Chain A
């Protein structure tokens, strides 16, 4: 009796999983179904056809490097209350996430337009933050940095402070504690946040369409292809977008999953409670 109920429950769960999966992947299936390899090859072979991929990849990589180098210390400081006015900072970050990307773009016009204070400063070194590659990077940075910051902060917060204290007692310097305990333990969540920021950065459109109509990144090219050449061409770029965007989240998620499994195994063996030097060494990368 119990076995029958259990089997039925499993079928119900599986059906629900299947429905959810179909709902989520339906647009992707439509894209695959409606995109021809010939359209993709035509898109790449047209003059400057490869340029949106280059622009998107390079701009997103630069934006991601800036996000990690600026965001990680700030996220750590927020998680460990080492930043003054951390409450206000966190609140403003959450508000930034709420701002629609289009509004972010419109606000960037005021901040970095040719006649703004910063825009003028940038022009002194013969650069411009309007309709340039720099503008693409800035727009992508602003669209994605809050997502990394909030995720990374949650990651650092999830690390048990007693482990860091124990490592300190065993003679590790604060820097060693950070690199040997805190970052490795927070790394699964850091990786997920990074993957999310990458996806947001590569898919940035709302702010980009305002401040960086040129050079076209991939979402802009999808939009313009739709206007100029029609659906087939825009789907071709959408497919290219997926091919370009996918590797980073895939690597991050699979690495993150392996890492979580390892930490789970470690924890179940009581490793984190040992408080021994051996235990901490095992947390290392």
Chain B
């Protein structure tokens, strides 16, 4: 009995020791490779590596730009580390507010999620780009030829709304309750009623009778998957998304695409009322960013966050945004009310 127990304990100790050895080996290997990668990049660095991390929470539609372009370029240029995480802007705001995540920079589509965090986490934010709404479409679907004609300007934009209102047309959009893009699509339809002469009944047909029509709602990721696999005729998208994912898309006039800062007063004339009781007012689909106060973060991390915001709004940073399909502007700083 005792021998049995001893042999079991011996076996357990062997496993434990092996695990510890394995973990320490992998740790050493990781540290070693980190040093290696650090030294290999340092040869091409303008600045040598510094301690401090820009921990960036960004809107889902900014994922590719942050991870592939901005993050690496920021590290190369400043020597600070970059760490990113993407999600819906409102979801991120919720996670930050409840301390589930502790980023020190927040990039959002629309300023509303940032405003939810003031004044505890931030006192100001900067607007530096806009992200116009477009309609991405499937060129090989039943309505492909017609949509292609509209995209090429051979048919008037009103024809797009007529086509979307056809019974068998498969439209996809994101949930307006949780996603700014879903809200922007509905606001776009309201703007089209005002500025393009689209009738309200046509809008009702397009959305299937309800803002939250279940059959049309997808998450942002699955929406793109459905469109790219040819299972939808068209879907709402930001211009940047369409460019990055190489989607076919129809540009919308500035008066309804919510991407032109000069037209912001027109955008604010429309609003939608959602079932959760929230009223969403039209505004420019801006890209906004702010640094966040995290009581536990180090001074080095604070410097990294400030440096990231400066990099984002620098000429170089704005060029990356333009390349990714955003429309950039001179950065404007907004102060949040101090409650």
The yes or no verdict on A and B being binding partners is yes
Most buried by B among A13, A105, A213, A224: A213
Set of chain A residues within 8 Å of B226, measured between Cβ atoms: 109, 113, 130
Minimal Cβ-Cβ distance residue in B for A12: B9
Q: Which of A21-79 contact B (CB under 8 A)?
A: 47
- Which of A1-9, A238-246, A255-263 is near enough to bind chain B? A1-9
Flag whether A106 is at the interface (Cβ < 8 A).
yes
Instruction: Please tell me if the beta carbons of B218 and A131 are within 8 angstroms of each other in the complex.
Output: yes
Contact A131 B12 (CB under 8 A): no
Q: Is A115 an interface residue (CB 8 A)?
A: yes
Given A130-B215, A211-B222, A230 contacting B5 (CB threshold 8 A): no
Which of B90, B98, B222, B231 contacts A209, CB < 8 Å? Answer: B222
Q: B225 to A214, Cβ gap below 8 A?
A: no
Q: Count CB-based A-B contacts (< 8 Å).
A: 94
Is the pair A9, B6 in contact by a Cβ cutoff of 8 Å?
Answer: yes
- Nearest-CB residue, chain B, relative to A228: B178
Q: How long is the Cα–Cα vector from A98 to B145 in the complex, in angstroms?
A: 40
User: Which secondary structure dominates where chain A touches chain B?
Assistant: helix
Contacts of A163 in B (CB 8 A): none
Interface size class of A (residues with CB under 8 A): 35 or more
Classify chain B: how many residues form its interface, as a range.
Answer: 35 or more
How far apart sit A9 and B4, CA to CA, in the bound complex (Å)? 11
A16 at the interface (CB under 8 A from B): yes
Partner of A128, one of B142, B175, B215, B222: B215
Given known contacts A130-B215, A227-B178, A113 and B98 CB-to-CB distance under 8 angstroms: no
A113, B231: Cβ atoms closer than 8 Å: yes
A89 within 8 A of B: no
Given A9-B2, A209-B222, A230-B98, CB of A131 within 8 Å of CB of B214? yes
Across the A-B interface, give the 3 residue pairs with the lowest CB-CB distance, nearest first.
Answer: A113-B231, A214-B214, A227-B91
Interface residues, chain A, with chain B CB atoms under 8 Å away: 2, 5-6, 9-10, 12-13, 16, 47, 105-106, 109-110, 113-116, 119, 128, 130-132, 209-211, 213-215, 224, 226-231
Additional pairs, 20, CB under 8 Å, beyond known A210-B219, A227-B178? A2-B2, A6-B1, A6-B2, A9-B6, A13-B9, A109-B225, A113-B226, A114-B170, A115-B230, A115-B231, A131-B214, A210-B222, A210-B225, A227-B88, A227-B91, A227-B94, A228-B276, A230-B98, A231-B95, A231-B98
